[in-house]
């Protein structure tokens, strides 16, 4: 047993770096990469290349996954017929990339044995993986829980003393969220930028007495609802976890959608602004958590106008640090985000939720490159319009796309098959990784000329490397060619339906 363990450790050391994708093809246009207790595809450490060279990592529909190549710059003094990159023209900085620590994520990850679980956490947070630096933490339950719950459900009356022991963390915090966040931070080697979002208030505080549906937070509980958030930050702090941000609440406008069963803390008309101005803002800024970023909207582009209205108040403006946008109405052009940025240039903007929810297909589609491309396309559009990050929804779901107590099954970049003791990395995982891995926090977007039929964004990173990400959504290969006047020309063939991350120092 002992020597077997040693042999396994030796095998791990030899093969742990830069393993390739163990491809599996279901009935789709591309593949998933299979990981288990002893095998998972991963990155070698990325080290700077000499100044005449650049790195390219490519994933595509044909099954390449972060395939690495090193190339030489050419024509150092002649770029007259190429597109240009200009690092002197700068735009927004990167806030970060990540996923959500939902209960379902925790349940699925915990359904795996320790080694497989560790490979999964590594896949998201370590240097061998795609180096997420952000995590969204639901304050209580969400639709991706096995039941709805707030932290004050065990009261029969509208009791509102949140400082009392009546407000306790739920078993889900202690079993799933907290241990998983700690594990992720350990693997990352530093603190994640955590931000909290609430879906569910105590039912007794709502006009309809329900977690979802057409009901609003009662005004007499506005201060309680602010205190409730502070109490959450305090109890997580006691568990050793600090928050970077907190939102004004997940999708408060959900109640407008008939028959929507997603639990929601809705506000009647301008009440959310009143709550921010009179309760949440002052309470947060006057608490021990005064440096926690207050993130507005946390809802779709289609309701960006509601936030714009709220921000007409200079009091609201004095509290809001940035905004989170969900992707479910991204049929609305991203130019509305640029317009918003131009009006409020001091607010950071990032994507705070996305997932593939396609009513016409199975919730989970294993190996769909189209879904990966949907992620990459949205991220590039967002980055081109002043958004500084993108936070995915569930990090791990089961093969049905759950659990979800309201049967709101969706897809996820990692699908866990507990029966087989394995998990599948979907094309969406790689699509997101082409950004999260290569654009660390505080990278700054720089100008790059548009290239015909290719989508491209460029960044200068804090380590002074230049990172360029290019998406080819065409059915045929395209030449990618541009000129960096300090280096020379970059030119390579983008394979059909591919995403490439280019990196040079």
Ligand X SMILES: *[C@@H]1O[C@H](CO)[C@@H](O)[C@H](O)[C@H]1NC(C)=O
Active site residues: 251, 353
Residue 78 lies near ligand X (rule: CB under 6 A): yes
Instruction: Choose among 257, 230, 259, 262: nearest CA to 246.
Output: 230
Residue 318 lies near ligand X (rule: CB under 6 A): yes
Judged by CB under 6 A, which of 154, 210, 400, 474 binds ligand X? 154
Could you tell me which stretch among 204-212, 292-300, 313-321, 386-394 binds ligand X (CB under 6 A)?
313-321
Q: Are 326 and 299 in contact (CB under 8 A)?
A: yes
Instruction: Return the DSSP state at 219.
Output: G
Q: What dihedral angle (degrees, nearest 10) is formed by the CA atoms of 301, 321, 447, 471?
A: -40
Residue 83 lies near ligand X (rule: CB under 6 A): no
Could you tell me which stretch among 59-67, 72-80, 220-228, 448-456 binds ligand X (CB under 6 A)?
72-80
Residue nearer to ligand X on the CB measure, 377 or 460: 460
Residues from 165 through 224 that contact ligand X (CB under 6 A): 165-166, 168, 170-171
Residue 319 lies near ligand X (rule: CB under 6 A): no
For the bound state, the minimum distance from the C-beta of residue 435 to ligand X, rounded and expressed in Å, comes to: 21
Q: Distance (Å, rounded) from C-alpha 194 to C-alpha 244?
A: 5
Judged by CB under 6 A, which of 3, 47, 290, 314 binds ligand X? 314
Q: Distance (Å, rounded) from C-alpha 22 to C-alpha 39?
A: 8
For the bound state, the minimum distance from the C-beta of residue 280 to ligand X, rounded and expressed in Å, comes to: 11
Judged by CB under 6 A, which of 19, 36, 234, 278 binds ligand X? 36
Residue 409 lies near ligand X (rule: CB under 6 A): no
Judged by CB under 6 A, which of 17, 20, 51, 72 binds ligand X? 72
Q: Are 451 and 489 in contact (CB under 8 A)?
A: no
Residue 442 lies near ligand X (rule: CB under 6 A): no
Residue 291 lies near ligand X (rule: CB under 6 A): no
Could you tell me which stretch among 127-135, 267-275, 351-359, 413-421 binds ligand X (CB under 6 A)?
413-421
Judged by CB under 6 A, which of 17, 286, 288, 407 binds ligand X? 286
246: β partners: 196, 294
Residue 505 lies near ligand X (rule: CB under 6 A): no
Judged by CB under 6 A, which of 146, 155, 183, 358 binds ligand X? 155
Beta carbons within 10 angstroms of residue 426's beta carbon = 29
Residue 75 lies near ligand X (rule: CB under 6 A): yes
Could you tell me which stretch among 3-11, 33-41, 57-65, 101-109 binds ligand X (CB under 6 A)?
33-41
Residue 493 lies near ligand X (rule: CB under 6 A): no
Q: Are 90 and 123 in contact (CB under 8 A)?
A: no
Residue 93 lies near ligand X (rule: CB under 6 A): no
Q: Distance (Å, rounded) from C-alpha 447 to C-alpha 433?
A: 22
Instruction: Give SS3 for 405.
Output: coil
Rounded to the nearest angstrom, the gap between the alpha carbon of residue 355 and the centroid of all alpha carbons in its chain is 10
For the bound state, the minimum distance from the C-beta of residue 207 to ligand X, rounded and expressed in Å, comes to: 20
Could you tell me which stretch among 9-17, 161-169, 302-310, 326-334 binds ligand X (CB under 6 A)?
161-169
Instruction: Choose among 67, 18, 66, 60: nearest CA to 39.
Output: 18
Instruction: Choose among 468, 482, 481, 476: nearest CA to 495.
Output: 476
Residue 164 lies near ligand X (rule: CB under 6 A): yes
Residue nearer to ligand X on the CB measure, 269 or 312: 312
Q: Are 485 and 453 in contact (CB under 8 A)?
A: no
Within 50-196, where are the H helices? 103-110, 114-125, 171-172, 178-188
Instruction: Return the DSSP state at 74.
Output: B
Judged by CB under 6 A, which of 8, 257, 315, 332 binds ligand X? 315
Beta carbons within 10 angstroms of residue 20's beta carbon = 12
Could you tell me which stretch among 59-67, 271-279, 350-358, 416-424 binds ligand X (CB under 6 A)?
416-424
Residue 400 lies near ligand X (rule: CB under 6 A): no
For the bound state, the minimum distance from the C-beta of residue 132 to ligand X, rounded and expressed in Å, comes to: 22
Q: Distance (Å, rounded) from C-alpha 330 to C-alpha 502?
A: 27
For the bound state, the minimum distance from the C-beta of residue 259 to ligand X, rounded and expressed in Å, comes to: 27
196: β partners: 137, 246
Residues from 322 through 341 that contact ligand X (CB under 6 A): none
DSSP track, 239-303: TT---SEEES-S-GGGGGSTT--S---B--TTHHHHHIIIIIHHHHHTSTTTTSEEEEEEEEGGG
Judged by CB under 6 A, which of 3, 5, 47, 80 binds ligand X? 80
DSSP track, 148-177: ---TT-S-SS----TTSTT----HHIIIII
Residue 13 lies near ligand X (rule: CB under 6 A): no
Q: Are 503 and 55 in contact (CB under 8 A)?
A: yes
Residue 60 lies near ligand X (rule: CB under 6 A): no
Q: Distance (Å, rounded) from C-alpha 272 to C-alpha 248?
A: 8
For the bound state, the minimum distance from the C-beta of residue 52 to ligand X, rounded and expressed in Å, comes to: 7
Could you tell me which stretch among 55-63, 162-170, 187-195, 450-458 binds ligand X (CB under 6 A)?
162-170
- Edge-first strand order for the sheet with 422-425 is 23-24, 32-35, 422-425, 414-417, 397-398
State the residues that interact with ligand X by CB under 6 A.
Answer: 22, 36-39, 71-72, 75, 78, 80, 86, 88, 149, 151, 153-155, 157, 159, 161, 163-166, 168, 170-171, 282, 286, 314-315, 318, 399, 417, 419-420, 463-464, 485
């Amino acid at each position: 047993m002992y020597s077997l363990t040693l042999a396994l450790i030796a095998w791990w050391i030899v093969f742990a770096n830069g393993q390739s994708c163990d491809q599996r093809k279901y009935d789709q246009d591309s593949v998933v990469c299979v990981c288990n207790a002893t095998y998972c595809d991963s990155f070698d450490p990325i080290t700077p290349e000499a100044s005449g060279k650049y790195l390219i990592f490519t994933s595509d529909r044909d099954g390449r996954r972060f395939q690495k190549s090193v190339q030489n710059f050419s024509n150092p003094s002649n770029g007259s017929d190429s597109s240009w990159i200009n690092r002197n023209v700068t735009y927004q900085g990167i806030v970060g990339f990540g996923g959500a620590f939902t209960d379902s994520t925790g349940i699925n990850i915990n359904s795996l044995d320790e080694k497989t679980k560790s490979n999964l956490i590594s896949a998201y947070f370590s240097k061998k993986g795609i180096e997420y630096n952000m995590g969204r933490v639901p304050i209580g339950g969400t639709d991706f829980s096995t039941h709805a719950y707030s932290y004050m459900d065990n009261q029969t009356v509208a009791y509102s003393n949140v400082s009392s022991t009546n407000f306790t963390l739920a078993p889900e915090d202690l079993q799933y969220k907290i241990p998983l966040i700690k594990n992720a931070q350990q693997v990352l080697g530093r603190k994640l930028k955590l931000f909290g979002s609430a879906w569910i208030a105590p039912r007794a505080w709502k006009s309809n007495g329900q977690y979802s549906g057409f009901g609003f937070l009662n005004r007499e509980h506005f201060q309680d609802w602010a205190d409730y958030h502070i109490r959450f930050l305090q109890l997580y702090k006691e568990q050793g976890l600090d928050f970077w941000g907190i939102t004004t609440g997940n999708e408060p406008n959900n109640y407008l959608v008939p028959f929507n069963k997603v639990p929601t803390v809705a506000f009647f008309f301008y009440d959310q602004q009143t709550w921010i101005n009179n309760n949440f803002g002052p309470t947060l800024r006057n608490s021990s958590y005064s440096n926690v970023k207050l993130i507005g909207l946390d809802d779709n582009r289609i309701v960006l106008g509601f936030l714009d209205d709220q921000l007409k108040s200079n009091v609201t403006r004095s509290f809001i640090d940035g905004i989170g946008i969900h992707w479910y109405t991204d049929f609305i052009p991203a130019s509305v985000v640029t317009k918003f940025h131009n009006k409020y240039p001091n607010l950071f903007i990032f994507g705070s939720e996305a997932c593939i929810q396609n009513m016409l297909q199975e919730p989970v589609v294993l190996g769909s490159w189209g879904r990966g491309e949907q992620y990459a396309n949205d991220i590039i559009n967002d980055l081109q319009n002043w958004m500084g990050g993108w936070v995915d929804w569930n990090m791990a779901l089961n093969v049905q796309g759950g659990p979800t107590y309201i049967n709101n099954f969706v897809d996820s970049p990692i699908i866990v098959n507990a029966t087989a003791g394995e998990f599948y990395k979907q094309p969406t995982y790689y699509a997101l990784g082409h950004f999260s891995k290569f654009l660390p926090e505080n990278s700054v977007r720089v100008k790059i000329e548009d290239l015909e039929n290719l989508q491209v964004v460029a960044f200068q990173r804090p380590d002074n490397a230049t990172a360029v990400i290019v998406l080819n959504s065409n059915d045929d290969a395209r030449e990618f060619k541009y000129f960096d006047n300090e280096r020379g020309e970059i030119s390579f063939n983008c394979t059909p339906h591919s995403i490439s991350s280019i990196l040079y120092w």
